[in-house]
Amino acid sequence: MAKSIPRTGSQRNAQIVSRKNIRRLHKGVIHVQASFNNTIVTITDDGGRVISWASAGTCGFKGTRRGTPFAAQTAVGKAIRTVIDQGLQRAEVMIKGPGLGRDAALRAIRRSGILLSFVRDVTPMPHNGCRPPKKRRV
């Protein structure tokens, strides 16, 4: 089998540039999911497409340190750094979960210089939905 030689002027080779940096956005939604073990920050545009995300685990924290407020603050800083370069100016914040990183994440978002239109708590609350497991007998 002879290998085909790639043409330098072809359309396929010209579009290697990532489109992530080309896209300019002015408004977005910051989703913060704060569990007891980790904090995940996802930044989307108005249509719901993910632009940037980070978690305490991807920032280098391991084990129980992922659930700390400092880890959440670091994750927010890493996620926001990429979208500020793309021109994000206004954002809505959706916070979900009972973890320790809730307040620290919100504080880091406010310090980043992005104008917040509103902050909403979207933690799911059961309306006596599922039956609890049977009582433990020791």
The region of weakest confidence among 7-11, 22-26, 66-70, 96-100 is: 7-11
Walk me through the domains of the chain, giving residue ranges and CATH numbers.
Answer: 43-113 (3.30.420.80)
Tokens of 134: 């049977």
| CA 32, 20, 82, 75 torsion-angle sign | positive
Percent of the chain with pLDDT over 70: 83
Determine how many CB atoms are found less than 10 A away from the CB of residue 84.
Answer: 13
User: What mean pLDDT is predicted for residues 114-132?
Assistant: 92
